[in-house]
């Protein structure tokens, strides 16, 4: 049985797209299980760069079935836009390759409106810095049992009733935020044309996944966002509204936990965060600017500059624990080239003394500070390296330090954005 969950171990943008795309060479099915078009997963093949937001990152390999599970919130216009873009780029196979759960929830215009209004009205320091894709309000509707599911696109009478209920609940909120409440017709009518194209893509994706598991197919479950953005395990309230951790794959894809064989956690060789919230190892200095510039750290969805800083090992150990990470994929090691003395946070100073744990509940206490170790830097370009033994000694020592302190082996080291700029140490689907 090979059912591998691949998750982000930090605050998102760890390079999940690239790693899933690589592993898909060995997989028959790739399943997204959480989030929506807040995700932006970058795939670089030759000179072509594609950013997928809803479609699983396995989409470029013809023949790989790609599922969007019921844990997702789906903006149908974004979904069809992505499909059309790929078809326009000559990938005609895409439309038949994708199946979307009937039980995933629709992102509606009023979700986008509330998300944008809340962010623009939030006072200094309170804005979450969301992607404004309607994610939070859509999950709110799901949890308060006022959501509209994709399967309801097959029944417009029922769908209209669901929209009426939702709008009744949102109206006072929208007015309070200074917005204009949309009419039911203005929400429902545009969905008719989209429905004609989305309905053929609908399926019970949990059943398709189970069939594949029973046949012994190799399956990837693709996380979006990252562990520290998880609504339960992240830096609350500066989180997203879903469960990106490995456990989220079971509810979000509809698969028993005992079907999962391996969990791979992706971490950059440093750390980035886009949006508000605590980030203890952030470096607002020349070294931070090096990471931003050389790492091209700009959001793939919003274009916002990502905050950058050193790797946080207590946070990585926390991610290993809450996800059950078996091995890590270490990305963007090449970005550290040229930094004379890279630092890694190894522990935290707290009012109670030094701790090796990630003090996630105390990060807003100014007395809680990262403790760093300085490592040797290297100056040689490493993007052509394909074997660990060919890395400069200092780069190899950097990787070994992380493996040792995180307590998990590296399965893969990424040395550039392209598919081939990769050192594969162990293939979890092999």
CB of 10 to ligand IMO, least distance (A): 9
CB of 111 to ligand IMO, least distance (A): 10
Q: Which of 7, 13, 223, 244 binds Mg ion (CB under 5 A)?
A: 13
> Measured at CB, which residue is nearest to ligand IMO?
275
- Residue 42 engages ligand GDP in binding (rule: CB under 6 A): yes
Tokens 């190894």, residue located:
346
Looking at the Cβ atoms of 15 and 280, the one nearer to ligand GDP is 15
Q: With both helix axes pointing from N to C terminus, report the angle between 393-406 and 313-323 in degrees, rounded to the nearest 10.
A: 50
CB of 262 to ligand IMO, least distance (A): 20
Q: How many residues bind ligand GDP (CB under 6 A)?
A: 23
Looking at the Cβ atoms of 41 and 142, the one nearer to ligand GDP is 41
Summarize as ranges the residues that interact with ligand IMO (CB under 6 A): 8, 11-13, 38-41, 128-131, 133, 135-136, 224-226, 229, 240-241, 274-275
Instruction: Tell me whether residue 290 is one of the annotated catalytic residues.
Output: no
CB of 29 to ligand IMO, least distance (A): 19
CB of 240 to ligand GDP, least distance (A): 12
- Residue 40 engages Mg ion in binding (rule: CB under 5 A): yes
Buried b (16+ CB within 10 A) or exposed e, 351-382: eeeeeeebbeeebeeeebebebeebebbeeeb
Q: What spatial distance separates the first Cα and last Cα of the chain, rounded to whole Å?
A: 11
- Residue 300 engages ligand GDP in binding (rule: CB under 6 A): yes
- Residue 222 engages ligand GDP in binding (rule: CB under 6 A): no
- Residue 137 engages ligand GDP in binding (rule: CB under 6 A): no
If phi > 0 it is left, if psi is from -120 to 50 it is alpha, else beta; for residue 241 that is alpha
Q: What are phi and psi of 345, to 5 degrees?
A: -75, 125
User: What pairs with residue 412 in β-bridges?
Assistant: 329, 424
- Residue 41 engages ligand GDP in binding (rule: CB under 6 A): yes
CB 253 within 8 A of CB 31: yes
Instruction: Tell me whether residue 211 is one of the annotated catalytic residues.
Output: no
Q: What is the rounded CA–CA span in Å between residue 369 and residue 330?
A: 25
Q: What angle do CA 69, 70, 76 make, to 5 degrees?
A: 85
CB 73 within 8 A of CB 231: no
- Residue 206 engages ligand GDP in binding (rule: CB under 6 A): no
- Residue 18 engages ligand GDP in binding (rule: CB under 6 A): yes
CB 238 within 8 A of CB 275: yes
Beta pairing class for 73-74 and 105-106: parallel
Catalytic machinery residues: 13, 41
Which residues sit at the interface with ligand GDP, rule CB under 6 A? 8, 12-18, 40-42, 44, 295-296, 300, 331-332, 334-335, 414-417
Which residues sit at the interface with Mg ion, rule CB under 5 A? 13, 40, 300
């Amino acid at each position: 049985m090979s059912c591998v969950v691949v998750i982000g171990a930090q605050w998102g943008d760890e390079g999940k797209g690239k790693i899933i795309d690589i592993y898909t060479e060995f997989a028959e099915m790739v399943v997204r299980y959480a989030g929506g078009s807040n995700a932006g997963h970058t795939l670089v093949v030759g000179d072509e760069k594609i950013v997928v937001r809803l479609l699983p990152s396995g989409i470029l390999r013809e023949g790989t079935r790609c599922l969007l599970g019921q844990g997702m919130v789906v903006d149908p216009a974004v979904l069809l836009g992505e499909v059309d873009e790929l078809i326009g780029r000559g990938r005609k196979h895409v439309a038949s390759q994708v199946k979307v759960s009937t039980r995933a929830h629709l992102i509606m215009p009023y979700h986008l409106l509330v998300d944008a209004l809340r962010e623009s009205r939030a006072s200094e320091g309170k804005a979450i810095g969301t992607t404004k894709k309607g994610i939070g309000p859509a999950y709110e509707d799901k949890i308060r049992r006022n959501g509209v599911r994709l399967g309801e696109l097959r029944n417009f009478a029922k769908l209209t009733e669901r929209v009426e209920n939702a709008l009744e609940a949102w109206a006072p909120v929208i007015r309070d935020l200074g917005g204009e409440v949309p009419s039911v017709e203005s929400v429902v009518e545009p969905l008719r044309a989209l429905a004609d194209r989305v309905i053929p893509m609908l399926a019970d994706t949990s059943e398709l996944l189970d069939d594949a598991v029973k046949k012994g197919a190799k399956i990837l479950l693709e996380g979006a966002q990252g562990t520290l953005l998880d609504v339960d395990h992240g830096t609350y309230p500066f989180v997203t509204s879903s469960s990106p951790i490995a456990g989220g794959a079971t509810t979000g894809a509809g698969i028993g936990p005992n079907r999962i064989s391996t969990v791979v956690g992706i971490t950059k060789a440093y750390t980035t965060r886009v949006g508000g919230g605590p980030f203890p190892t952030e470096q607002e200095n020349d070294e931070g600017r090096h990471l931003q510039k050389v790492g091209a750290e700009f959001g793939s969805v919003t274009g916002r500059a990502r905050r950058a800083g050193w790797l946080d090992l207590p946070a990585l150990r926390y991610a290993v624990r809450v996800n059950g990470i078996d091995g890590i994929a270490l990305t963007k090691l090449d970005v550290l080239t040229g930094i004379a003395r890279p630092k890694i946070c190894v522990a935290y100073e707290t009012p109670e003394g030094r701790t090796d744990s990630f003090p996630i509940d105390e990060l807003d206490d100014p007395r809680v500070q990262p403790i760093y170790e300085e490592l040797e830097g290297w100056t040689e370009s490493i993007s052509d390296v394909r074997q660990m033994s060919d890395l400069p000694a200092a780069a190899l020592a950097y990787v070994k330090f992380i493996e040792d302190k995180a307590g998990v082996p590296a399965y893969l080291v990424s040395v550039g954005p392209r598919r081939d700029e990769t050192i594969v140490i162990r293939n979890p689907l092999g």
